[in-house]
Structure 1
Amino acid sequence: MHAGVPDGRARRPPWPSEGGAAALWPPAPGLRRPVLPRSRVREATAAVLALGLLLWLAGRGAGDARGADRYDFRLPEGAVAAAPAGTRPSPGTGASAGPLGTPPPAPAAGTWEYLGLQDDGASPVAYDPCRAVHWVLRPDDAPAGAEELVAGAVAEVAAATGLTFVHDGSTDERVTRDRPAFQPARYGDRWAPVLVSFEPPAANPDVGGGIAARGGSDAVRAGGPAVYVTGSVLVDADWAADRAATPEGRGAVSAVLVHELAHVVGLGHVEDAGELMYAHNDGQRALGPGDRAGLARLGRGACEPDL
């Protein structure tokens, strides 16, 4: 976690599956451990594990709006695809000789996290600033005015990172957990664009139950640093349709989109309610100082013409 340290190291929060299991009966000094039949021990262990799973799932579903837990569709923490020939575009497709934009100055205050780090343990995984980040919108199931809301959120993240975003229009592609980063039959000889899709929980159970949206990106490497090349934003269409009916609700949808697009470019959740990347809905509608600090640094990623 960064807190007013412009060049500090990012702390990667643990995944829910990490951590040790607590002992069922820690023996106190001078006391004898109770002895139970093995069948009873197995039953008790299973009950404790089941209760723990239910409590964890309940915690994941608490709240709405920006309350997405860590993005489920991106590669597992620490895993980066090697992008061998045949699974990536022709090297250099869309690459420019230098960065297409300039990130704004990064505030020295605030709290931010990166979703992924390079091998040095400090530099964040980011998009290539020498290429445009293309994006498409799936209009099916989207609320009225969705394209305007998404375009506004994209513009806000573009300004905060200095990255160049290009809207490639609409698509009929849905968000899936195994979405290929390279889809030449659909998008041509280039990395697939970032996909923004509004889908009801009945069609995509990865939203709903308190999860308003999810967002993130896939990273690849070609002998150099890891680079994000495409990503997805999935929004609960039922939740968005209900909120988008009022100006205040549209503000909530816009904040959700900015939050998820910040995940897409590489920001993680923080435990600071004053930042938009706080994991739970608390009425925050604007990027905080730590959000802006992290996003400005993510706009200074490495150019990778070999990808």
Structure 2
Amino acid sequence: MIKIQVKKLHTLTGHNDCVYALVEGPNPQYFFTGSGDGMVVLWDLENPENGKLIAKVNHSVYALEVDKVRNLLIVGHNFEGIHVIDLESRNELWSINLTNQSIFDIKVSGNDLFVATADGMVIILDIEKRAVKKHLKISDKSVRVLAINPDNRTLAAGLSDHTVKIFDLITYEPIHNLISHSNSVFALGFAPNHPILISGGRDAHLKIWDTETYTLKESIVAHMYAINYLAFREDGRYFVTCSMDKSIKVWETENFKLLKVIDKARYAGHGTSINKVLWSSYNQNIISISDDRKISIWDLEF
């Protein structure tokens, strides 16, 4: 059995509302958070106590994405659209009014920017041309989460209609419609170095999908309440899930064994729903954000 020592390194404050968005910077020493207060904040893992305000918008920020090739931060501005910030100058390069809906997720692949919205749309933009290429209406319900296969050939979308839909990244054509969840899908991730996709959601189950055939390999009752997000360590050996049940769980990817539970009782964890987790590729710390307006940084020793 793998033993894990957990130590809480930092609790960061500064947001005035629930913290919903979390993304690693092009330089992984830094990460960004976005919140219901419309603030987007830059944090430094070497000096985490002093966050720097990068942007302030009028509505909640549920989604952030980084374009590592172009050194850009993309901010999803609910009920409006996206703002694109040059991380060198920290100035806004461009913005585009896209939607009167919530923006739940944003992903970059090559020149394409994929924006998931509450009206069942995936809006595809050309980053170089700064223009909309295509509107994919994939459901009448919200598109909650997107994931790009490391092979860069497929895009997965988790939806409030309980499905996971797989698309070809070149043609944007649907390839598979995965049906197994009994409620909204909030969490989605392709495992590095493993041919699997893991999904999770409001039904508190994790579903393990074989990416060769997109058949269901395993279903696990993983949390007491909704699974809000999941993140892999960069080598793919382990992954973490976070939940409305206020816990973070650490899993082994090879056999889907639960290795550790990080919660308030044992480790002075978050007091409310944990919205996202990030496994830092800079120092292998885990970063978590919550409805309690706090950001926690955890050291895991295996």
TM-score relative to the length of structure 2: 0.24
Structure whose residues are more often strand by fraction: 2
Structure whose residues are more often helix by fraction: 1
Structure of higher RCO (CA pairs closer than 8 Å, 6+ residues apart): 1
TM-score relative to the length of structure 1: 0.23
